[in-house]
Amino acid sequence: MHVAIIMDGNGRWATQRGLPRTAGHVEGAKAVRIAVEAAARAKVEILTLYAFSSANWTRPPAEISALMRLFGQYLFTETRRCVEQSIRINVIGRRDRLGENLLRSIEQSERSSAAGSGMLLRIAVDYSSQHSIMQAARRAGRDSELTPQDFHRLLHEVDHCAYPASEVDLLIRTGGERRLSDFLLWECAFAEFHFSDCLWPDFDERQFRSALEDYGGRQRRFGGLSVTH
């Protein structure tokens, strides 16, 4: 099963408490650990987290710097935990606009966890699904024999996907919004959506289990008859 999460609401969580937005991102990082461990316990095969969209570059420079430092710290502190739990790490998205130190941290985390045989944790950083689809289309050119599977492989190349990843089964978005925000548009073609009003720092294992239970009670038809899962 492939679960993807749009982790929304860090800034609002902090604002509601009279704290700087960066405090919300710090608390959000703690929620990431909870979600990763909950997903691993639930035997989720692939977990993709939307950490930083390409549109987020329009935020104030101080907030962007804080987010990038926090991401680097997360990789430093959590890679060992992932290795211990046999979780592989793969950062997807553009890398040409990331700092050298962060790039080294990403590469080190991916190498260190590559032998894991458990869940695949994908973290989307400087990610735009529209950009990825456009780049993959350019690589495809005028290939009239191209299949959806071939195009999916091109998307993997564009996004620095180190491992094959199936299409998304369940998309979770916190924070009360009801949109995809340029996240995994191709991969979510037949995904089930679960929207939660819970702000991301408050998203815990109970909330995660609730989303899985919601998904488990649905019938997936894929345009045809009911499919039991």
| Residue 143 among the catalytic residues | no
| Tens digit of each residue's pLDDT (9 = 90 or more) over 142-193 | 888 899 999 999 999 999 999 999 999 999 999 999 999 999 999 999 999 9
Mean pLDDT rounded to a whole number for the chain: 94
**The two structure tokens encoding residue 73:** 């710290």
Non-local CB neighbours of 74 within 8 Å, separated by 6+ positions: 29, 32
**The two structure tokens encoding residue 136:** 């993959």
Q: What percent of the chain has pLDDT over 70?
A: 96
pLDDT band for position 227 (cuts 50, 70, 90): low
Q: Name the residue among 98, 29, 36 with its Cα closest to residue 70.
A: 29
Say what the pLDDT of residue 75 is: 95
DSSP helix/strand/coil, 188 = coil
What single-letter amino acid sits at 186?
Answer: W
Query: Can you tell me the distance from the alpha carbon of 100 to that of 158, in angstroms, rounded to the nearest whole number?
Result: 19
201: pLDDT strictly greater than 80: yes
pLDDT band for position 226 (cuts 50, 70, 90): low
| Residue 8 among the catalytic residues | yes
DSSP helix/strand/coil, 220 = strand
| Tens digit of each residue's pLDDT (9 = 90 or more) over 205-225 | 999 999 999 999 987 765 565
- Dihedral (CA of 191, 192, 197, 198) sign: negative
Say what the pLDDT of residue 143 is: 85
Q: Specify which residues 50 forms β-bridges with.
A: 6, 124
**The two structure tokens encoding residue 69:** 């430092």
Of the listed ranges 7-16, 25-34, 152-161, 218-227, the one predicted with least confidence = 218-227
Active-site residue among 8, 126, 159, 169? 8
Active-site residue among 10, 56, 101, 169? 56
Instruction: Name the CATH superfamily for 2-216.
Output: Decaprenyl diphosphate synthase-like (3.40.1180.10)
- Say if residues 39 and 202 touch (Cβ distance below 8 Å): no
